[in-house]
Amino acid sequence: MRALILIGLVAAIPAFAQNAPGTRYGANPDLPTPRQGLLPDMKIPRPALWRDALPTVPQEYTISAIATGLKIPRQTLILPNGDILVAEGKGASAPAMRPKDLIAGLIKAMGKSPESGGDRLTLLRDADGDGTYELQTVFADGLNSPYGLAFIDGAIYVANQNSLVRFDYSEGQTKASSAPETLTELPAALNHHWTKAMTASADGRFLYVGIGSNSNITERGMAAEEDRAMIWQIDVATGAHRPYATGIRNPTALTIQPGTDQLWAVANERDEIGPDLVPDYLTSVQEGAFYGWPYSYWGQNVDTRVQPQDPEKVASAIAPDYALGSHVAALGVDFSVLEMGQQFAEGVFVGLHGSWNRSEPVGYKVVFVPFRNGRPSGEPVDFVSGFLQEDGNTRGRPVGVSVDPRGALIVADDLSNTVWRIVPQTDQ
């Protein structure tokens, strides 16, 4: 496949200032008064073609489409030899409970690719290192909506929507040598939120798996939320699991901060209390912590829709580290490396899939959240944009982001069914 390359035309990067009161971003976002109505605001950009256009990236960076024609690419994994694995899957959806659920489902469908999910892993290879991935082949198929990916000591781990499975792997392999081994089952009843995000601990002993809630705000009852809205810690040797952190409505991507054992996550918060509530967020994940869902949001702000309340749980809820904006639908996160360039060396890239529940769409881009001294510091900077058009349509929707340690950002786009690669201009 011939890669298309474009140098972005964005202006100079703004200074990284601490967030001010009233902002939508950072540690102290403005939280307006909740607003409810018969129906939430619902408007989703319709799919549009890229044709000869490409996403916009900062000056001195180039972007190329390294894989096209995929079947709903979600998350990616950089293997030790530089090959890229792409998880492709569409996932199940829970049955609608209310008329507005049915309407919301129809609205959401308008902004999705009509392609069926691949239920597979695709492998991409750039054999000569020139930036063109000549090989695009199916590594494994017959999976069940794969999403989370991890590599530990000669094994590839895949989080299907219903199970965590393992493939043996030898460097350079282009196809799985056998069927996967199941390490543990994952909660899959209803699957209102079906994605199972995953990352490995720094020492390789554990896998962390994010499991989203089975409702927006417990409409299906608390019994449906057993083992939901939490992150599991799974022992790689035995498959035994335990809750690592709870009260996280939908943890959609996980990563480990380099040089530490610290787990970080992005999460999608609740709907139907206004276009500017509740902020989706980026946070370090504290072992044993409770993050509020369903009883409260952004710490101890009570959601009165949940009855009966639990004041003790609310009192224990901790606030996330960094607001990304409400309804941006963060679905990807990874820490950067020095090879990505000095101005983007310290921080995380976050894939924002985009809103469906606002009159003015937000998200639909990849942002960089700068860090200082190991913590988020300053407002997010647009790194890959141009998906959303002035006419209100969109050419793509970013999902997973992976940083190649050699200096490249890999972005899965599940609307145009493309994998994008962004590198400093001096590289290929």
Residue 248 belongs to a domain with what CATH number? 2.120.10.30
Amino acid sitting at position 141: D
Number of domains in the chain: 1
* 31 assigned to some structural domain: no
pLDDT of residue 11: 32
Q: Which residue has the tokens 């089952």?
A: 185
* 357 assigned to some structural domain: yes
Residues 6+ apart with CB under 8 A from 171: 79, 80, 81
pLDDT of residue 425: 93
Beta strands 120-125 and 135-140, pairing class:
antiparallel
* 381 assigned to some structural domain: yes
pLDDT of residue 259: 95
Residue 95 near residue 76, CB atoms below 8 Å = no
How distant is the alpha carbon of residue 142 from its chain centre? 23
Interval 393-419: pLDDT, tens = 999 999 999 999 999 999 999 999 999
> 414 is in which domain, residue-wise?
5-11+57-424
In sequence order, what are the beta bridge partners of 233?
208, 242
pLDDT of residue 427: 52
Residue 231 near residue 224, CB atoms below 8 Å = no
Can you list the pairs that 259-264 forms with residues at least 24 positions away whose Cβ atoms lie under 8 Å?
260/202, 260/374, 261/201, 261/202, 261/203, 263/199, 263/201, 263/208, 263/231, 264/333, 264/335, 264/348
* 135 assigned to some structural domain: yes
* 365 assigned to some structural domain: yes
* 45 assigned to some structural domain: no
* 344 assigned to some structural domain: yes
Task: Tell me which residues of the chain have a pLDDT lower than 70.
Answer: 1-22, 40, 427-428
Closest by CA to 420, choosing from 8, 138, 12, 113, is 8
* 34 assigned to some structural domain: no
